[in-house]
Structure 1
Amino acid sequence: MATITKRKWKTSKGVDREAWVLAYTDAGGKRHKEQFEKKRDAEARRTEVTHQVAVGTFRADAASTTVDDAVTDYLKLLADRRDRGEHVTEHYYRTVEGQLRNYVAPTEEHRAKQPVKTRIIFDGGIGAVKLSQASAKVIGDFRDRLRAAGVGVVTTRRILGSLSRALQNAVGNDLIAVNPAANIRVTGKRGEGAKKVVPPSKADLAAALGEAKGSLAVRMRLSASAGVRASELYALRWKHVAFNAGELTVDGRVDAYKNEDTTKSTAGIRQVPLSSAMLADLRRWKDGANSSAPDDLIFPNAKGGFLDHKNILKREFRPLLIAAAKKAADEGRKFRPFNWHALRHFAISTWIEAGLQPKTVQTFAGHSSLAVTMSRYGHLFPSDSHRNVMDQISISIFGVGAQMAHDAE
């Protein structure tokens, strides 16, 4: 049974004070007391506690533990797993830490570590909220504040995903009974968050490659033909190139902190066919390499280690694009710059143009599902081909009459 009593006392300075004390017993027979300044807050808490005790979801620590505490515990868990090498990379840890410490439970200490130009200031976090008060509505309101602050649909989903995992960890530690963020959905306006891509044109790619030399030229050509991500490119070793079979095996990646790991998903492990020209290009590069043993990197840095993508962009790729743009302007041609990842988009677009089926494109690209492939590249598949496929399906169901109706149009 839960009771509310009024408590009065004088402070050391003789000031009269009063508060409302809620006393209740949990299902295990343990007594609890909580103090509130306002009676209505005490009554609201009594209603909540009575229901939780009745249905068996009451957790005593939830009244004193905050979302910030849950975030701290979860980040410590991730850090321990990272240090033990248990499928948590430095990149993943820092990404989750940024989501939780920039938005969910912001701290001045974390903000101070960020560069001033990219520092994120979001004041709508819920770090101070007690777990006992972290309802689905509280999480939903937090989501709405993120969206109102201009955070995109995809980023909001990722932030809520990290929050949900932190709260699920709190459930596992018996701090709360249920995860209030588990079923929170994020929706946007029609088309918002869409990831349909526009690859660089063949003319623009040719113009950029015309300015590329040495290792950069080979890396660009391989990325634009095999569709490897930058992180996958830097992890490639000579054992991954099957010159006789004419294919490239992708089974790993290097993160921003030069930690080698598996691919983004199981589907990322794949074999991609290479053209004769690309194989010849790689053969020449191998013949001129200082080290070309099976376990040696195809594209090492000067010390034989992994290349740094940020340095590549700053020192090689962006200056190359500037040079290509200047040459195009001098010759009266148009040139549209593109980012490095667009090389992957270009490769995938050429596969589609060549008539490869969507499932094959998904396999070569290493996408986790066909839905990912179609959401990003579906607009590049020829619509006539899609209609012909539908015609074939129609014939198999309804007979030749369906095809005759099409031909009569």
Structure 2
Amino acid sequence: MATITKRRWKTGKGEEREAWVLAYTDAAGKRHKEQHERKRDAEARRTEVTHQVVSGTYRAEASSTTVDDAVTDYIKLLTDRRDRGEHVTEHYLRTVEGQLRNYVAPTEEHRAKQPEKTRIIFDGGIGPVKLSQCTAKVVSDFRDRLRESKVGVVTTRRILGSLSRALQNAVSNDLMAINPAANIRVTGKRGEGAKKVVAPSKADLAAALAQAKGSLAIRMRLSASAGVRASELYALRWRHVAFNAGELTVDGRVDAYKNEDTTKSEAGVRHVPLSSAMLAELRKWKDAAKSSEADELVFPNSKGGFLDHKNILKREFRPLLAAAASKAKESGKKFKPFGWHSLRHFAISTWIEAGLQPKTIQTFAGHSTLALTMTRYGHLFASDSHRNVMDQISSSIFPAEPVDGAQMAHDTVEVL
């Protein structure tokens, strides 16, 4: 039985205040009281509690535990898993923590750790919300506030995904009965969030490569021919290069914090054929290496460790692009700068141009699904003339030289 009563009292200043008190008994016979400022909130809570008690989904802890608490517990869980080496990388941990602490349950402590130029200020979080009041409507409204704040479709989906996993952890700890974020969908305007890429032109890549020397030139050519990501490139060891078979094996990556891990997905483990020219260049690079044992890195830093991608971009790649742009300007030509990841896009675009089948391209690219390949690169595939295709099909239906219908009828009468 749940009842609502009105409570009035006077403050120390003599001001009269009022609130609505909800009293109810849970399935274990324990008595509970909750105070609400508005009567409609108390009534809504009574309906919710009554349903939870009857259905057996009531959790007493949910009335005192907040979303912020659930977020804190989940981040601690991920931290413990990282420390135990249970498939949680430093990069993943920091990414999830950023999503939860920047948007879901922002804290001044977390904001203070961010550089002022990139600091995210979002005041539409749901950290103070009690788990007992964290409904699908609350999560949906949170999603809408994200979108109203110009947070993109993809980023919003990732934030809600992290929230859903945090709340699912709360469910596992018996702090709440159901996960209200489990089925929340994020939709955008047509075409919004689509990742159709544009690869560098052959002329722009050639202009950049003309300025590249040594290790940088080899890394750029390998990325632009084998489609390896920067994180995968830095994890390559000589055992991954099969000179006799003429292929490159990709089975690992290095994150931004120099932690080595498996590829992004199982499909990321792949074997990519290499051209004779690329193999020859790698052979020459190996012969000149200080150490070329099977487990040695193909592209180590000066101390034999992993390269730092941010450092590579700052000290090598961006100055290279600036030099290529300056050279093009002197020659009266145009040069369009591109990002390092565009080298991967270039590789995949050349595979498409060469006529490789979509499924083969998916395999070489290491995409988890064919749908992902087609979403990002489908616009690069050659478009057949639909009318020409229909004409080819019709050749098996119609005779090579169609007979005039009127003449055909006349000939039939003649025979009869």
Match for 1:187: what amino acid? T
Match in the other structure for 2:397: 401
| TM-score, scaled relative to structure 1 | 0.94
Give the equivalent residue in structure 2 for 1:56.
Answer: 56
Deviation at residue 17 of structure 1 after TM alignment: 5.2
**CA distance in structure 1 between the partners assigned to 2:253 and 2:83 by the alignment:** 19
> Which residue number corresponds to residue 181 of structure 2?
181
Instruction: Give how far 1:111 is off.
Output: 0.7
Structure 2 distance, partners of 1:404, 1:113, is 76
Counterpart in 2 of 1:253?
A: 253
Amino acid of the structure 2 residue aligned with 1:227: G
Identify the residue that residue 281 of structure 1 maps to in structure 2: 281
1:348 counterpart SS class: helix
Which residue of 1 is the match for residue 358 of structure 2?
358
CA distance in 2, matches of 1:19, 1:253: 58
Q: Distance in 1 between matches of 2:197 and 2:247?
A: 26
After TM superposition, the structure 1 = structure 2 runs for residues 16-165 of structure 1, keeping only pairs within 5 Å, are 18-165=18-165
Find the counterpart in structure 2 of residue 190 from structure 1: 190
What are the ranges of 5 or more consecutive residues in structure 2 without an aligned counterpart? 402-416
TM-superposed CA distance for 1:10, in Å, is 5.7
CA shift in 2, pair 1:42/1:182, >3 Å: same
| 1:258-269 equivalence runs, <5 A | 258-269=258-269
1:328 aligns with 2:328: yes
SS of the aligned residue for 2:397 comes to: helix
Q: Matches of 2:91 and 2:53 in 1, distance apart? A: 42
Contact 1:391 1:402 (C-alpha < 8 Å) held by counterparts: no
- CA–CA separation in structure 1 for the residues paired with 2:195 and 2:275: 28
Q: CA deviation at 1:218?
A: 0.4
SS in 2 for 1:219: helix
Deviation at 1:130, TM superposition (A): 1.0
SS of match in other structure, 1:306: coil
Instruction: Provide the rounded CA distance (Å) in 1 between the counterparts of 2:35 and 2:242.
Output: 71
Assess, with a 3 A threshold, how the Cα gap between structure 1 residues 245 and 387 changes in structure 2: closer, same or farther: farther
* Structure having the higher Rg: 2
Q: Distance in 1 between matches of 2:99 and 2:373?
A: 26
Deviating 4+ runs (over 6 angstroms): 12-15, 385-388, 402-405
**1:241 aligned residue:** 241
Question: Given residue 62 of structure 1, which amino acid in structure 2 is its aligned partner?
Answer: A
| Aligned equivalents of 1:338, 1:321: Cα separation in 2 | 8
Contact 1:2 1:24 in 2 (8 A): yes
Instruction: Look up the SS of the partner of 1:368 in the other structure.
Output: coil
Distance, in Å, in 1 between the alignment partners of 2:130 and 2:165 is: 17
Counterpart residue number, 2:409 = none
1:149–1:218 distance in 2 versus 1, CA, 3 Å = same
Q: Secondary structure at the match of 1:159?
A: helix
The Cα offsets for residues 355-380 of structure 1, whole Å up to 9 and x where unpaired, read as 10000000000001000000011111
Higher mean C-alpha deviation, range 104-113 or range 15-24 = 15-24
Distance (Å, rounded) in 1 between the aligned partners of 2:72 and 2:7: 35
**1:29 is aligned with what amino acid?**
G
Query: Are the aligned partners of 1:229 and 1:344 in contact in 2 as well (CA < 8 Å)?
Result: yes
The structure-2 alpha-carbon separation of the partners of 1:82 and 1:386, relative to structure 1 and needing over 3 Å to count, comes to: farther
Deviations 1:298-345 (A, max 9, x none): 000000000000000000000000000000000111111000000000
Question: 1:204-251 CA deviation, whole Å, 9 max, x = no partner?
Answer: 100000000000000000000000000000000000000000000000
SS at match of 1:211: coil
- For normalisation by structure 2, the TM-score amounts to 0.92
